[in-house]
């Protein structure tokens, strides 16, 4: 009987991704594949979340065969800072990736940027890596199709493939576990005007207009276009799920679906309120066999990196600020609070921080003298935004619709998200809510003290400090190739640099260097090093 139960335990460990021989030894058959299907700028417009107009059968089926999460939150209401937190497991303002966006000025507002602004790749702390690099070290084939947008240039070691052709099907060993991302831009803010001539799948007269919008033809049309784009995205997601099925991989692949933040519509995207931060989030895990489950636990996007490593049975680095919510390293205590930040948006500066528990949201405004609304050039391309501004100038917006255009902000805000889902009624000065205000103020102060906030420093001063006072980033030092016993060791004097190597130039990707490697006579070794935020090193070549 003891032998029988021991066998059952072994079978369970293998099925859930654990290697029963050694925690740090990875064999393909013992680890799950992980697939992310992600979209951009989309709130809860799926049938499984109650949407009546947008028909999303493929993602609804995914939810019916898995778990639908109701309290998943991004760390920013806009993509690049949010993606930085996803790929690093670190809050963006704690590592200098908080301003939207860093690599280049927005083409729609270049003339509005402060004098002296120049694009830069953020120099994150030396210990911080893309979590996909840890997966690659552990034997995973990692693909990204195809947007990165991390606020820094990813090292060559981050991905096996990162392009619009990246796919798990390209891995040379079909038994190798994979981590694959397919990111669909179909629902992005820009697609409201870019796809203006495509057939509408939702009738404008049938859409529900939120109370913060005036009911105009332009507003209705933009909402209908966005919902139509959601339906197109669902079909694209269905195609990927069908490919997974065709390859016979459904039973050993954990599938995630989520949006990078809320709707790409006015007064939604870029906001650090529920409508900008709370997103659809679905997981189908064949190893737990949960079906049609609703999970109300709080999840932050900063938790994604440690959770992926936990599922892959790869140790989670201690520096990561998120916590795993699945896998062998799942946190003992569920998350009680989620945090988010808002900083420069294209050319417009602001600094807002927020914390939310299961009911209340606390907001801290560090620039209360600034208006709520920011005249962001990119957003002005949206017809509904033009319509809203026209009616504002004509004095035809009601008090609710004028809330966005308040000339100043309160230093503190508090909202009851259950009773006030649009977060219009600031309770911070209401005596009845002082216990909630005091509690969340302390939670916020403790959090920001713990993780840090680099937005206290002017942006270009921060960049100058990273660059040692120079006008360009430091260069990652040239890696060294050194003999070590019967093998070859690689090193780089730049702290925090990732080292990649190839034995043949034609190899499609750089391998991640972790320990001395074997070479044989006739091999040619190519080596590159890159610390995030620095310029990549020169490539070193040696023939044996």
Q: Which tokens go with 33? A: 């594949």
Cα separation, 15 vs 286, in Å, equals 9
Task: Tell me the helix, strand and coil percentages in the chain, rounded to 5.
Answer: 30, 20, 50
Tell me which residue of 183, 161, 185, 177 sits closest to 308, measured CA to CA. Answer: 177
Q: Which tokens go with 497? A: 């640099």
Among 39, 48, 79, 130, the one annotated catalytic: 79
Cα separation, 265 vs 47, in Å, equals 20
Kindly report whether the peptide bond that precedes residue 101 is cis, defined as omega within 30 degrees of 0: yes
Q: What is the spatial order of strands in the sheet that 412-416 belongs to?
A: 338-342, 352-356, 360-365, 412-416
Q: Which residues contact 448 (CB under 8 A, 6 or more apart)?
A: 353
| 3-state secondary structure (DSSP) of residue 162 | strand
Kindly report whether the peptide bond that precedes residue 349 is cis, defined as omega within 30 degrees of 0: no
The backbone region for 383, taken as left when phi is positive above 0, alpha when psi lies in -120 to 50, beta otherwise, is alpha
In degrees and rounded to multiples of 5, residue 292 shows phi and psi of 55, 45
Is residue 492 flagged as an active site residue?
Answer: no
Query: Residue 483's CB: how many other CB atoms inside 10 A?
Result: 10
Residues labelled catalytic: 79
């Amino acid at each position: 009987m003891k032998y029988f139960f021991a066998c059952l335990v072994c079978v369970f460990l293998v099925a859930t991704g654990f290697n029963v021989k050694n925690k740090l030894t990875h064999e393909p058959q013992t680890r799950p594949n992980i697939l992310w299907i992600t979209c951009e700028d989309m709130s809860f417009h799926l049938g499984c979340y109650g949407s009546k107009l947008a028909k999303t059968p493929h993602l609804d089926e995914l939810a019916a065969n898995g778990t639908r999460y109701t309290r998943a939150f991004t760390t920013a209401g806009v993509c690049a800072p949010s993606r930085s937190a996803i790929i690093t497991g670190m809050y963006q303002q704690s590592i200098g990736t908080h301003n939207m966006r860093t690599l280049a000025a927005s083409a729609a507002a270049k003339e509005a940027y402060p004098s002296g602004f120049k694009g830069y790749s953020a120099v994150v702390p030396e210990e911080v890596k893309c979590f996909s690099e840890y997966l690659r070290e552990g034997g995973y084939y990692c693909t990204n199709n195809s947007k990165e947008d991390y606020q820094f240039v990813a090292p060559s070691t981050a991905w096996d493939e990162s392009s619009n052709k990246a796919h798990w099907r390209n891995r040379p060993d079909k038994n190798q576990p994979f981590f694959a991302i397919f990111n669909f831009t179909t629902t992005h803010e820009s697609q409201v005007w870019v796809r203006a001539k495509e057939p509408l799948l939702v009738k404008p007269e049938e859409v529900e207009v939120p109370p913060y919008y005036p009911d105009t033809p332009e507003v209705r049309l933009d909402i209908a276009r966005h919902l139509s784009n959601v339906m197109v995205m669902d079909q694209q997601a269905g195609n990927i799920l069908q490919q997974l099925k065709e390859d016979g991989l459904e039973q050993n692949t954990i599938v995630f679906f989520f949006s990078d933040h809320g709707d790409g519509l006015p007064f939604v995207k870029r906001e650090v309120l529920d409508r900008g931060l709370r997103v659809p989030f679905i997981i189908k895990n064949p190893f737990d066999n949960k079906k049609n489950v609703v999970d109300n636990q709080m999840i932050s996007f900063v938790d994604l990196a440690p959770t992926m490593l936990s599922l892959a049975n790869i140790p989670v680095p201690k520096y990561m600020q998120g916590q795993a919510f699945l896998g062998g390293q799942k946190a003992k205590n569920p998350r009680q609070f989620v945090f988010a930040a808002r900083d420069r948006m294209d050319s417009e500066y602001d600094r807002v921080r927020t914390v939310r528990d299961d009911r209340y949201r606390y907001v801290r405004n560090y620039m209360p003298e600034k208006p709520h609304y920011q005249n962001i050039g990119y957003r002005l391309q949206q017809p509904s935004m033009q319509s809203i501004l026209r009616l504002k100038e004509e004095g035809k917006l009601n008090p609710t619709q004028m809330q966005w255009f308040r000339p100043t902000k309160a230093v503190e805000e508090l909202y009851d998200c259950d009773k006030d889902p649009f977060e219009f009624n600031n309770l911070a000065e209401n005596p009845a809510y002082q216990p909630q205000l005091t509690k969340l103020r302390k939670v916020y102060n403790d959090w920001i003290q713990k993780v840090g906030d680099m937005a206290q420093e002017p942006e270009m001063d921060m960049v100058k400090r990273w660059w040692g006072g120079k006008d360009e980033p430091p260069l990652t030092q040239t890696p060294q190739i050194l003999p070590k016993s019967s093998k070859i060791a690689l090193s780089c004097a730049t702290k925090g640099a990732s080292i990649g190597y190839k034995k043949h130039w034609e190899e499609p990707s750089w391998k991640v260097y972790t320990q001395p490697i074997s070479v044989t006579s006739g091999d040619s070794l190519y080596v590159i090093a890159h610390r995030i935020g620095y310029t990549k090193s020169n490539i070193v070549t040696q023939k044996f």
